[in-house]
Structure 1
Amino acid sequence: MTDVKSTKVTVVSRLYAPEVGAAAFRLKALVDSLKNAGAQVNVVTTKAPKGAKPFSPSYSISRWPVLRDAGGNVRGYIQYLSFDIPMFFRILFGSKPDVFVVEPPPTSGFAVKVAAKMRRVPFVYFSADVSSSAARGIGVNNVVVAAVTALERSILVAATTVLAVSSGVEKEIEVLTDGQAHVVNVGTGVDTKAFSLDGPVKETGKRFFVYAGTMSEIQGAGVFVDAFMTIARDYPDVQLVMFGQGVEFPKLKARSASFGSQIQFFAPAQGTEIAQWHRGAVANLASVRPGKGYDFAFATKALAGLSAGAPVIYSGVGPMRDLVNNHGLGIACDWDAISVATAMRTMLENPVTQMRRAELSQWVNEHYSLQAVGAAGASAVMRSVERH
């Protein structure tokens, strides 16, 4: 058996706390669980973006400057490589761990795969998605898709263990690798401590809906803007509040400019701040746009809102849709403005009670705690050392 307290783990990711996002939250939960078990952890990541809150954990974090796009994202091949190339040499010549853990994109996975092989160290790939499926879904050039598919497959097969966040991702990996990857489904979840029912409630003097997350082709967050614009004049006391970043952010902001303060856009914020908005929201909004290669994706932003007591309006496809329907977590509808507008009207006319908000929060705490995901991931990482 592996002696956890003597095990050295190096976690590699272009995103990490104090940045805001599912990947950063997920990896921090993993690291926290590894530390709680007594492992020695080093995180190799990027320099935090401007405006990020101070973050000084008890473990080692190695940060390096990275190129970001206009929205502050590390998104795109040039941005990825600005992290991957220095990272490769950082982990190749840095202290030798017993195991590497790396997040997508595949370019980062490939860099870790090569370095791990050269240093004769196993690596774990934490697959929150399948990048080749996403590239195919958003219409990337076929040659590029083929290259990404081959690259991703080679990483998944070479990894000692692949951590999947849902059964949908697990199945995609099994198909892509012809069952050759060793996959462990650790589940998905949210920080139920940050997104709790208890705490300050945001008050604006108006009722409001909240979307907090990435705004790209995959999420299709524009459906909420389009839907709200059709009902805004009927409900002058209601606002749509959009937190996040992504390629569609500037387009959506420009498209809704004529509605003034009824539709507001903000940069990503810390979970504790978003939770204040969720506690006062009519509903939280989440979506996965169909036909974009992410039909299997699990929209964790919906769980964050639910954990803070806000029912969800879920638009599109994915496992979250069934959860909403099966457990009465809000309203699930098709990905179109008419269906979403109808759901918004229903929520406005039939607001949930405080008792129901408490029930929603408790349900997430029992079934989708990020702390449980971190613990499952840490266990799988330690077993991967034994398997090597």
Structure 2
Amino acid sequence: MRIAIVSRIYRPEPSAASSFLGAVADEATSRGHDVTVVTVRPPAGLAADNPVESVRMLPVLRDRSGYVKGYLQYLSFDVPLFFRLLVLRRPDVVLMEPPPTTGLVVRMACALRRIPYVYDAADVWSDAAEQATGSKTVIRVLRAMERFAMQGARSLVTISQGVMDRVRAMGVDRPMTVTGFGADTTSFLSPSETTAPTDRVFLYAGTYSPWHGADAAIDAFTKFSRSHPGYRLRFIGNGSERELLERRTRELGVESTVDFVETVPSEELLPELHHAVATIATLRPGTGYEYAFTTKAYSSMAAGCPVIFAGPGPTATFLDRANGAVRAGVVCDYDADAIAEAMVVLADAPLSAGQRQALAAWTAEEHSLAAVAARVVDVVQAAATDSDRRS
């Protein structure tokens, strides 16, 4: 069948969504399907390696940091997308990635052409937006748009039961499947390593937005450094809190030991994960976003790097369960003292090479991106087949 994937971000641009959608495209083409991806031109300096799928790239506005993030940037993709979908060779089904503005466009274009679509509800954008704006009008409009886009889908896929419950609470009653959200487990710590290659570095790799509350990691690192000088805290990624975090390091006098690095491709991030003591993931309580899963934990564990998770939600449950099988990291309260204590635990007793290997192997077996992609393609195929029966 012909499958179209619609997303404002796709490989080679590094992100969790890019890896996920790329894996879905790989799985679909391996089953003999014809896959077309409608996305944006990647930033300068990034080029895709001869993909099997057909990739149609649209010009797009980017923000100052180079990302397609913000209302104008989204619209610069969504408006031409509407017309591109109207003239695209008719697919049997469309898989779409939010934001809700893209969902609105996909629903309208697919309705005109009577094409079923599958909505990837990895997140609830209107809940996240409550942390970025105090405008109730903006939130109401965004929530209505998001509900409209979800409700028009033939099926939805999501990463966790928590997101599914939240979507149901919004009044969306379409068929929905929890597929999980795996990690790219194709690259691991080399089996030839006889000693754990640990640098004196803690990593925060990924997005740092208001609901993440990454400033707690800086407060914790300041406390930790008093008893463990010589370590560094490294942020690799992007987020709306960049200036706030940089200001916090200056206020605490640790700016010389905290690094901020732009998002890098996964092949460049992997050595950082291999050599770090641990990664840090946070989720601020009381935001109404406690059901969210911090997917950066998957990538860290896939590289054999333990995770310090601070906050509520399903990530804590996941890590607790993983710790029953391997040494996956430390779960603690969202509190600077608690995070600092977790850093001490892993700095004083870092994982051995064997423990890192075991962690990577367990993650590969239990939570590979390929396995998740296969479940998503099953849903996409079913949506197209169901549409054929109805027509």
Give the TM-score, by structure 1 length: 0.93
Aligned partners of 2:131 and 2:210 also within 8 Å: no
Match of 2:382 in 1: 383
The answer to whether residue 315 in structure 2 is matched with residue 323 in structure 1 is: no
- How far the C-alpha of 1:57 sits from its partner, in A, is 0.6
- How far the C-alpha of 1:292 sits from its partner, in A, is 2.4
Aligned amino acid, residue 312 of structure 2: V
- How far the C-alpha of 1:165 sits from its partner, in A, is 1.3
Q: How does 1:222-301 map to 2 (within 5 A)?
A: 222-257=215-250, 258-301=253-296
Compute the RMSD of aligned alpha carbons. 1.9
Match of 1:50 in 2: 44
2:80 corresponds to which of 78, 86, 100: 86
Match of 2:186 in 1: 193
Aligned amino acid, residue 86 of structure 1: P
Q: Find the aligned partners of 1:11 and 1:272 in 2 and give their Cα distance.
A: 24
CA gap of 1:112–1:297, structure 2 versus 1, over 3 A, is same
Aligned partners of 2:2 and 2:93 also within 8 Å: yes
Q: How does 1:81-160 map to 2 (within 5 A)?
A: 81-160=75-154
CA gap of 1:165–1:200, structure 2 versus 1, over 3 A, is farther
CA gap of 1:18–1:334, structure 2 versus 1, over 3 A, is same
SS at match of 1:87: helix
CA gap of 1:148–1:299, structure 2 versus 1, over 3 A, is same
Aligned partners of 1:288 and 1:315 also within 8 Å: yes
Q: Find the aligned partners of 2:362 and 2:353 in 1 and give their Cα distance.
A: 14
Aligned amino acid, residue 242 of structure 1: F
1:26-80 per-residue CA deviation (whole Å, 9 max, x = no partner) reads: 1111111111111101100011012324433122111112111112221111111
CA gap of 1:140–1:95, structure 2 versus 1, over 3 A, is farther
Same amino acid, percent of matched pairs: 37
**How many residues were matched structurally?**
379
Q: Find the aligned partners of 2:191 and 2:245 in 1 and give their Cα distance.
A: 31
CA gap of 1:83–1:199, structure 2 versus 1, over 3 A, is farther
CA gap of 1:199–1:275, structure 2 versus 1, over 3 A, is farther
- How far the C-alpha of 1:94 sits from its partner, in A, is 2.0
SS at match of 1:366: helix
1:4-32 per-residue CA deviation (whole Å, 9 max, x = no partner) reads: xxx11111000000111111111111111
SS at match of 2:3: strand
Q: Find the aligned partners of 1:46 and 1:360 in 2 and give their Cα distance.
A: 35
SS at match of 1:347: helix
CA gap of 1:205–1:21, structure 2 versus 1, over 3 A, is closer
The answer to whether residue 67 in structure 2 is matched with residue 73 in structure 1 is: yes
Aligned amino acid, residue 189 of structure 1: G
1:62 corresponds to which of 50, 56, 72: 56
1:112-139 per-residue CA deviation (whole Å, 9 max, x = no partner) reads: 0000011111111111111122223445
Aligned amino acid, residue 198 of structure 1: S
Match of 2:341 in 1: 342
CA gap of 1:367–1:205, structure 2 versus 1, over 3 A, is closer
| Structure 2: gaps (5+ residues) | none
Q: Find the aligned partners of 1:143 and 1:312 in 2 and give their Cα distance.
A: 38
Q: Find the aligned partners of 1:25 and 1:309 in 2 and give their Cα distance.
A: 18
1:265-309 per-residue CA deviation (whole Å, 9 max, x = no partner) reads: 111111122111111111111122222232111111111111111
| Structure 1: gaps (5+ residues) | 1-6
Match of 1:367 in 2: 366
- How far the C-alpha of 1:327 sits from its partner, in A, is 2.7
